[in-house]
Amino acid sequence: MTETEPLPPRRKLHIFQLLPNLISILALCSGLTAIRFAVEGKFGLAVALIGLAAALDGIDGRLARMLKSESAIGAELDSLCDLVNFGVTPALVLYYWGLRADTSLGWIAVLIYTVCCMLRLARFNVGNRVAEGEEKPKGFVGVPSPAGAMLALGPIYLVYAFHPVLAPPPWATAFWMVFVGGLMISRMPTPSFKGVRVYAENARFVLVGSVAVISALLTYPWVTLLLLDVVYLAAILVLWRKSARSLRSVV
């Protein structure tokens, strides 16, 4: 008889420690359902579901750290869901919305954007695997995939906020998708809220501002989303100019 290695001890998990992975799966279901609504021509619902997926993506990692249930499987699940939710889904939604008039050009833009998102996520995963004792990088390099998805959907915001007459031609939407994909794989510093700290006496202003933004999203969703895209792009430009100045001063 051959000797067999002993099985590893079974580990028990509290039921609440499964919540982060469940949230990741719910985000994936949200992204996939957005594709279904896009096929049916319900683009408003498709955009809302992508936004829901982005909100859930911001919760699962923090919840895993709070519950001390971080795992390699959870990290892989999160990354795979992000590729579908913020790489494949926005590209297909935009394709069904405004790129089918020029099928070849539109599909090229879909492929480029999705590949850029995949490369962005791969770089992020490698950057997170630091050796023990080393400090994780602060801030983001390149636009994160959830922000990239919300930026890429900008042409839809524009049309729904104002008038279908403002609908960009297919080549302009395709160019915008490729541009956003380039931002995701770029080395440009982008805003991150992970390290943001506020003084306790200013917390009330942050809370009031958050309520104002949420209220605006619920009341004027398309105009608000469009303005948030503009503000985010402006913040990227400011950070890029600051980094360029610091490099020149070092030289």
pLDDT digits (tens, 9 = 90+) for 110-156: 999 999 999 998 888 777 665 444 555 556 788 899 999 999 999 99
Whether 242 is in a domain gets the answer yes
Distance, in Å, from the CA atom of 107 to the CA atom of 201, rounded to the nearest integer, reads 51
Whether 174 is in a domain gets the answer yes
| Contact status, residue 128 vs residue 108, Cβ threshold 8 Å | no
Whether 45 is in a domain gets the answer yes
CATH number at residue 109: 1.20.120.1760
Domain around 158: 16-128+141-194+201-250
**Helices 170-185 + 103-128 axis angle, to 10:** 10
Residue burial 140-156, b: 16+ Cβ < 10 Å; e: rest: bbbbbbbbbbbbbbbbb
Whether 10 is in a domain gets the answer no
Whether 176 is in a domain gets the answer yes
Whether 136 is in a domain gets the answer no
Distance, in Å, from the CA atom of 158 to the CA atom of 165, rounded to the nearest integer, reads 10
Whether 6 is in a domain gets the answer no
The per-residue pLDDT for range 191-210, each reduced to its tens digit, is: 777 666 777 777 788 888 88
Read off the pTM: 0.84
Structural domain count, the chain = 1
Strand partners of residue 189 = 141
Binned at pLDDT 50, 70 and 90, residue 1 comes out as very low
Whether 3 is in a domain gets the answer no
